[in-house]
Structure 1
């Protein structure tokens, strides 16, 4: 019952976050969020194979929990962090450090206590993994924006020549 309540709460809070987020930010930061979600799914697959992450019940329960976490709060939190920081590295870093500290320590402990899942790596190691992901995301977004700007510049020059 508690696990289902957690799943419903996570999904509902994600839906609310989706409606509040400006559409422009959603489209601007969707590529980095998809990249980040893919990296996270790969990491969770690795943790599952090496039995470092486990949810009680069938493999279906693990899959359900994975997708609820990745496509729910993680997905929209990523969009919101980029939206709030607006490309400013120090603000992006500050928001991520605070959010990741909260997630890595009290929230993971709560999830363990209620049996939502077990993480067999230390919270400090988990924090280093998720903060590394945040910086990887920032690098991806910076590269993507530069590439996108160059593409737009190249296309506008091409259109002017026609």
Structure 2
């Protein structure tokens, strides 16, 4: 019962938070968010294969929890962090350092206590993984923006 309540809360709160993201920011940061979600899915797949996390109830429960966390809070939090930092490194880093710390330590501890899932790696290692993902996301976004700017310049220079 408590696990379903957590899933519902995470999904509903994510949808409500998404409602307030400006459309322009949503479109601008959607590629990096999809990239990041793909990376996270790969990491969760790796964690599952190597038994680095578990959820009571087996693979079906693990799949459900992964889906709820990635499509819900992770997806929209990523959009919000980029929107709030306006793509600048220092604010982006500070927001991620704080948010990832909160997730890696108190929230993961709460999930462990509630038996939502259990990580078999240290919380410090998980925190460092989150920070490295954030850095990878920032680099991807900058490269994506640079590529878009070059494409727009090429298009505007062509005469039809």
Q: TM class, shorter-chain normalised? A: over 0.9
Q: Which residue of the partner structure matches residue 66 of structure 1?
A: 66
TM-score (norm 1): 0.98
Aligned to 2:85: 85
The residue number in structure 2 matching 1:43 is 43
Match of 1:19 in 2: 19
- Deviation digits for residues 53-94 of structure 1 (CA, Å, limit 9, x no counterpart): 111103111100000000000000000000000011000000
Residue 129 of structure 1 deviates from its aligned partner by: 0.3
Say what the alpha-carbon RMSD is for the aligned residues. Answer: 0.5
The unaligned stretches of length 5 or more in structure 2 are: none
- Aligned counterparts of 1:132 and 1:82: Cα–Cα separation in 2: 16
Report the Cα distance in structure 2 between the residues aligned to 1:25 and 1:55, rounded to whole angstroms: 35
SS in 1 for 2:76: helix
1:121 has 2:121 as partner: yes
Matches of 2:69 and 2:88 in 1, distance apart? 26
Q: Does 1:156 align with 2:156?
A: yes
Show structure 1 runs of 4+ deviating over 4 A.
Answer: none
**Offset at residue 46 of structure 1 (A):** 0.2
